[in-house]
Chain A
Amino acid sequence: MPLFLPLMGIVLLITLYIYSGDKALHLSEIRSAAMQTMSDKQQCLSGQTESIIRDLRFLAELPAVAPLLGSPCQETQDHLTEALVSFSNAKAMYDQIRYLDTSGMEVLRINHEPGNRAKPVPPQQLQDKSERYYFSSTIQLDSSEIYVSPFDLNIENGSIELPLKPMLRFARKITENDTVLGIAVLNFLGKPLLDRFTGHGIPHHHHMMLLNKDGYYLTGAPGGNNWGFMFPGTERDITFSMHHPEEWKTIRTQNEGQFLSSRGLFTFKRLYAFEQLDGAVTDDYYWIMTSMIPAQELKGMLPSRTGYLLLVSFMGCLIFVGTLAFTSRRVQKRHAHIELEHLAEQLQEANTQLHENQRKLQALLSNLPGMAYRCLNTPEWPMEFVSSGCVQLTGYEPRELLKDTGALNYSELIVREDRDWVWQQVQEELANHRQFSIRYRITNKTGDLLHVHEQGCGVYDEAGQLVALEGFIMDITGQVLSQQAIRESEVRFRSLFEGAPDAIFLAEAESGIIIGANRKASKLTGRPLGEMLGEHVTSLHPPDTEEDTSNKFLAQRTEAERFETSVPTEFQVIHRDGRRIPVEVITQYMKLDDKVLMYGIFRDITKRKEAEAEIMAKTRLLETVMSTVPAYMYMKNRDLTYRFANTYALRHFHMTPEQVNGISDEDLFPAEMARRFQIEDRNIISRAQPVINKEEELQLPDGTIIPVLTNKVPLINARGETDGIVCVSIDRSEQKKAEKRNMELQNQLQNSQKLETLGTLAGGIAHEFNNILTPVIGFTEIALDSVPDDSTTRKDLETVLSGAKRAKKLVSQMLTFSRKEPPQLIRQKLQPVIRNAVHFLKPSIPRTVRLEVQIAEFNDTVTCDANQIQQVILNLCTNAWQAMEKQPKGILSITLEKIQADEIAPSSAQTPEPDRAYARMSIDDTGTGMAKEELYRIFDPFYTTKEVGKGTGLGLPVVYGIIQAHKGWIDVQSVKDRGTTVYVYLPLDT
Chain B
Amino acid sequence: MKKILIIDDEPDILLLLQRVLESAGYSVRTAENGRQAEEILQKNHFHVVITDIIMPEVEGMELIFYLKKHAPQTRIIGISGGGKLSPDSYLTIALSAGADTVLQKPFDNAELLEKVKQLL
Contacting A782 at CB < 8 Å: which of B13, B20, B54, B86? Answer: B20
A-chain residues with CB within 8 Å of residue B19 when the two chains form the complex: 778-779, 782
Contacts A777-B107, A781-B109, A782-B19 given: A819-B82 contact, CB under 8 Å? no
A768 at the B interface (CB under 8 A): yes
Contact of B105 among A764, A771, A818 (CB under 8 A): A771
Interface centre among B17, B82, B86 (most CB of A within 10 A): B82
- Known A766-B87, A767-B54, A771-B13; judge A778-B82 contact (CB<8 A): no
Per-residue A-contact encoding for B28-63, CB less than 8 Å = 1, 0 else: 000000000000000000000000001000000000
Select A778's contact among B54, B87, B104, B106, beta carbons within 8 Å: B106
A782 to B12, CA, bound (A): 14
Question: Separation in Å of the B24 CB from the closest CB of chain A?
Answer: 11
**A398 at the A/B interface (Cβ < 8 Å)?**
no
Q: Assess the B16–A774 pair: CB atoms within 8 A.
A: yes
List the B side residues contacting A819 at CB < 8 Å.
Answer: 86
Given the interface pairs A774-B16, A775-B13, A815-B86, the reply to whether A769 lies near B81 with Cβ below 8 Å is yes
* Interface residue A894 (Cβ < 8 Å from any Cβ of B): no
Q: Is A808 an interface residue (CB 8 A)?
A: yes
Number of A-B contacts (CB under 8 A): 82
For chain B, the count of residues having a C-beta within 8 Å of the partner chain is: 26
**Across the interface, which residues of A come within 8 angstroms of B80, CB to CB?**
767, 770
Complex interface bits, B75-111 against A, C-beta within 8 A gives 1, otherwise 0 = 0000011111111000000000000000011111110
Whether a CB of chain A sits under 8 angstroms from the CB of B15 is: yes
Decide if A770 touches B86 in the complex (CB within 8 Å): no
Measured between beta carbons, the chain A residues less than 8 angstroms from B23 are 782
* Partner of A768 from B20, B81, B86 at Cβ < 8 Å: B81
Given contact pairs A771-B10, A775-B13, A775-B16, A782 touches B109 in the complex (Cβ within 8 A): yes
Give bound CA distance, A782 to B19, whole Å: 9
CA distance A776 to B107 in the complex (A): 10
Q: Is B13 in contact with A774, judged by CB distance below 8 angstroms? A: yes
Contacts of B15 in A (CB 8 A): 775
Decide yes or no whether A803 CB sits under 8 A from chain B.
no
A770-B85 contact, Cβ under 8 Å, with A775-B10, A778-B16, A782-B20: no
B81 and A766 within 8 A (CB): yes
**Does residue A763 face the partner (Cβ distance < 8 Å to B)?**
yes
Complex Cα–Cα for A472 and B84 (A): 149
Contact B12 A763 (CB under 8 A): no
Q: Which single member of A767, A768, A769, A778 contacts B109 (CB below 8 Å)? A: A778
Please report the total number of A residues contacting B with Cβ < 8 Å. Answer: 25
Q: Which residues of B contact A771 (CB under 8 A)?
A: 10, 13, 81, 105
Bound-state CA distance A781–B17 (Å) is: 12
Interface string of A562-585 (1 = CB under 8 A from B): 000000000000000000000000
What is the CA–CA distance of A684 and B54 in the complex, to the nearest angstrom?
Answer: 78
**Which of A770, A781, A811 contacts B108 (CB under 8 A)?**
A781
Evaluate contact between B106 and A777: CB separation under 8 angstroms.
yes
B residues within 8 A CB of A808?
A: 106
Chain A contacts of B16 at CB under 8 A?
Answer: 774-775, 778-779, 782
- Cα-based distance from A820 to B86 in the complex (angstroms): 8
B20 partner residues in chain A, CB cutoff 8 A: 778, 782
Do B106 and A815 touch across chains, with their CB atoms under 8 A apart? no
Q: Mark A809-830, 1 if CB is under 8 A from B, else 0.
A: 0010001001111000000000
Q: Give Cα A815–Cα B81 distance, bound, in whole angstroms.
A: 11
In the bound complex, CA of A821 to CA of B85 (Å) = 10
Once bound together, how far apart are the Cα atoms of A776 and B16, in whole Å?
9
Measured in the bound complex, the distance between the Cα atoms of B109 and A779 in whole Å is: 9
B83, A763: Cβ atoms closer than 8 Å: yes
Q: Which residues of the partner chain A approach B13 to less than 8 Å between Cβ atoms?
A: 771, 774-775, 778
Task: Assess whether A804 is interfacial by the CB under 8 Å rule.
Answer: yes
B109-A774 in contact (CB<8A): no
Complex Cα distance A773/B13, Å?
A: 9
State which of A764, A776, A777 has its C-beta within 8 Å of the C-beta of B84: A764
Annotate A842-868 by CB proximity to B: 1 below 8 A, 0 otherwise: 000000000000000000000000000
Contact of A767 among B17, B83, B107, B110 (CB under 8 A): B83
- Evaluate whether A763 and B85 lie within 8 angstroms (CB atoms) in the complex, with A771-B13, A774-B16 already known: yes
For A781, the chain B residues whose CB sits under 8 A away are 108-110
- Please state if A774 and B86 are interface contacts (CB–CB under 8 Å): no
CA distance A773 to B83 in the complex (A): 15
Query: Nearest A residue to B19 by beta-carbon distance?
Result: A782
The answer to whether A774 touches B82, judged by C-beta atoms less than 8 angstroms apart, is no
Q: Is the CB of B12 within 8 A of A770?
A: no
Q: Are A774 and B106 in contact (CB under 8 A)?
A: yes
Q: Within the assembled complex, what's the spacing in Å between the Cα atoms of A609 and B12?
A: 104
Contact yes or no, B106 A776, CB < 8 A: yes
A774 and B107 contact, CB distance less than 8 A: yes
Nearest CB on B from A756, distance (A): 14
Pair B83/A804 contact, Cβ less than 8 Å:
no
Which of B17, B81, B109, B112 contacts A770, CB < 8 Å?
B81
> A768, A804, A815, A821 — which one has the most chain B CB atoms within 10 A of its CB?
A815
Quote the shortest CB–CB distance from A954 to chain B (angstroms): 15
B105-A770 in contact (CB<8A)? yes
Chain B proximity of A555: nearest CB distance (Å): 97
Which residues of the other chain, A, contact B85 by a CB distance below 8 angstroms?
Answer: 763, 818, 820
List the B side residues contacting A776 at CB < 8 Å. Answer: 106
* Chain A nearest Cβ from B78, distance in angstroms: 14
Q: Which residues of B contact A767 (CB under 8 A)?
A: 54, 80-83, 87
In the docked arrangement, what's the CA distance between A773 and B80, Å?
12
Distance of A808 Cα from B110 Cα, bound (Å): 16
Contact with B along A700-721 (1 / 0, CB 8 A): 0000000000000000000000
Give A843 to B87 CA distance when docked, in angstroms. Answer: 29
CA distance A588 to B106 in the complex (A): 118
Beta-carbon contact of B87 and A815 below 8 Å: yes
Instruction: Compute how far the CA of A782 lies from the CA of B23 in the bound complex, rounded to whole angstroms.
Output: 10
Chain B nearest CB: distance from A780 CB in Å? 9
**Chain B residue at smallest Cβ distance from A764:** B84
CB distance from B33 to the nearest CB of A (A): 14
**Neighbouring B residues of A815 by C-beta, 8 Å:** 82, 86-87
B105 to chain A, nearest CB (A): 4
Measured between alpha carbons, how far is A815 from B82 in the docked complex, in Å? 9
How long is the Cα–Cα vector from A770 to B54 in the complex, in angstroms? 12
**Bound-complex Cα distance A249 to B83 (A):** 151
Q: Which residues of A contact B82 (CB under 8 A)?
A: 763, 766-767, 770, 811, 815
CB of A599 to closest CB in B, whole Å: 107
Chain B residue contacts of A821, Cβ below 8 A = 86
Are A774 and B81 in contact (CB-based, < 8 A)? Answer: yes
Q: Inside 8 A of A774's CB, which chain B residues have their CB?
A: 10, 12-13, 16, 81, 105-107
Q: Which residue of A lies closest to B90 (CB)?
A: A767
List the A side residues contacting B84 at CB < 8 Å. Answer: 763-764, 818
A778 vs B21: C-alpha distance in the bound complex, in angstroms?
Answer: 11
Residue of chain A at shortest CB distance from B23: A782
A808 to B111, CA, bound (A): 15
Known: A770-B81, A815-B82. A804 touches B109 (CB 8 A): no
Q: In the assembly, what is the distance between CA of A820 and CA of B85, in Å?
A: 8
- Closest chain-A Cβ to B7's Cβ sits at a distance in Å of 14
In the complex, chain A residues whose CB is within 8 Å of the CB of B54: 767
Minimum CB–CB distance for B63 against chain A, Å: 18
Interfacial chain A residues near B12, Cβ < 8 Å:
774-775
Of chain B, the residue at the smallest CB distance from A817 is: B86
Q: Which residue of A lies closest to B103 (CB)?
A: A774
Subset of 25 A-B contacts with CB under 8 Å:
A763-B85, A766-B81, A766-B83, A767-B80, A767-B83, A770-B80, A770-B81, A770-B105, A771-B81, A773-B81, A774-B106, A774-B107, A775-B12, A777-B108, A778-B17, A781-B108, A781-B110, A782-B20, A782-B23, A782-B109, A804-B106, A811-B82, A818-B84, A820-B85, A821-B86
Which 3 A-B pairs give the minimum distances between C-beta atoms? A770-B81, A775-B12, A773-B106
Q: What would 14 more interface pairs be, CB under 8 Å, given A763-B82, A774-B107? A: A763-B83, A764-B84, A766-B83, A770-B80, A770-B87, A771-B13, A773-B105, A774-B10, A775-B13, A778-B13, A778-B19, A778-B20, A781-B110, A815-B87
